[in-house]
A and B are shown apart, each in its own frame.
Chain A
Amino acid sequence: MTKFDIQESKRTVSILTDWWEGLGFGMNAQIFKNMHFADIGKLLTDGKNLGGLANRIYFGLWNDVAAWPTDPSAPATIELAGTQTGDLIMKAGKRMFELYTTEDAAKLDINVIGEEAGKGYELLLHVFAPGLHKKLLGFMNATKNEDLVMIAQDSAGQNYLMGCAIRSAKFSASDGSGTGSTTDGRRGLGMIFAYRSANLYVYSGNIPLTEAIGSV
C-alpha cells in the first residue's frame, strides 16, 4: 500500500499557490468569472437621490491606521464587488477627525485612469472650509505633504474611503482658497484631496472620532 506523505503533498499545494498568486496581477477577469451578474434596474430607495456630500468629511493620518477594511475577494454578486467589509481601526491613542465643509461646496469626483488593461480610478474629494481661521491654515500646512486617509459621505449616507494599506490620500491642490475678490465672494479654503484605487467601493464600517485604546 502507498503511504500518504503529508509533507510532500503540502509542497505541491504551495507551488500551485505561488503560481496563482504570481499570476494574480492579471487575473481580474478570471476572478470576476465566478460572479453572478444580475439585471440592474432603477436603484433608488424611496425615490431618494440627492447629490453632493454631507457637511462633514472625516480625515486622519494614514500612518495612524492599525487595520483597514477588506476589499471583496472573488465576490459572488456585483453588489458584493462594490462593498468593503470590516472597519477602519486606528492605532492606540489615535483617532479620525471631522472637518466642516460648506453646503453644496463639497463633491467627490470619480475619474477613470490608466490605459487599456490597466484601468483604475482616481477619487478627487473637493472640500470648502469657510473662513480663514488659524486652525484651517494650520490644517492645510500640516496636511499638504502628508499621507492621509479620508472618508466622504454622500447625501444618501454612503461612505467612500480614500486610502488603503498600500496607498494614501494626498492633498492635491487648492481650489478657490483665499479671501474672494468681492464682499459677496467666498472667503475660505478650498482643497482637493486625491486617491488612486484599483476598484470603487462603498465603505460600510464605522468612523471612530474617539481615541483608540490598547493593542488591536
Chain B
Amino acid sequence: MTWKDYFTLIKVQPGRIVTPRFGTLDFSDPNLPVDKLQALFEDDFPYLKITPMGMEALYPIPPLAKLPSKKVESPTPARKPVKRKA
C-alpha cells in the first residue's frame, strides 16, 4: 500500500512541490507518508484528490446504530355516529 492508493495527484505532473507545512515533497516518490498527505488534504492542498479507498480508510463512516423496531400503535379514530333518517 502506498499513498497513491489513498490520494491522486491532480493538476500537476508527479514531481516536487514546496509546501508551507512540510517543506519540499517529491510526489514522484511512492513512499511519502500518508499522514502528511492527509494533513495537506485537510489544509485544502490543491493538488491532491482522495480516492474511494482513501475515503474508506481515512474517513470511515461509522455504521448506523440499528434501532430496535418498535410497533407504534395509533389509536383507531372514533367512528362518526351515522345519523339515521327518521
Taking Cβ atoms with an 8 Å cutoff, the residues of A that contact B are 58, 87, 89, 95, 157, 159, 204-214, 216
A216 to B14, CA, bound (A): 17
By beta carbon, the residue of chain A nearest B28 is A210
**A209 contacts B18, CB within 8 Å?**
yes
- Summarize A's interface: helix, strand, loop or mixed: loop
**A89 contacts B13, CB within 8 Å?**
no
Q: Which residues in A have their C-beta under 8 angstroms from that of B46?
A: 87, 89, 206
The answer, among A89, A207, A211, A212, for a CB contact under 8 Å with B18, is A207
CB distance from B82 to the nearest CB of A (A): 47
A206 to B17, CA, bound (A): 7
Report if A213-B11 is in contact (Cβ < 8 Å); known contacts: A87-B46, A206-B45, A206-B47. Answer: yes
Contact with A along B1-26 (1 / 0, CB 8 A): 00000000001111111111000100
Taking Cβ atoms with an 8 Å cutoff, the residues of B that contact A are 11-20, 24, 27, 45-47
**A210 contacts B17, CB within 8 Å?**
yes
CB distance from B39 to the nearest CB of A (A): 13
**B12 contacts A204, CB within 8 Å?**
no
**A204 contacts B24, CB within 8 Å?**
no
**B13 contacts A209, CB within 8 Å?**
no
Q: Which residues in B have their C-beta under 8 angstroms from that of A216?
A: 11
**B13 contacts A210, CB within 8 Å?**
yes
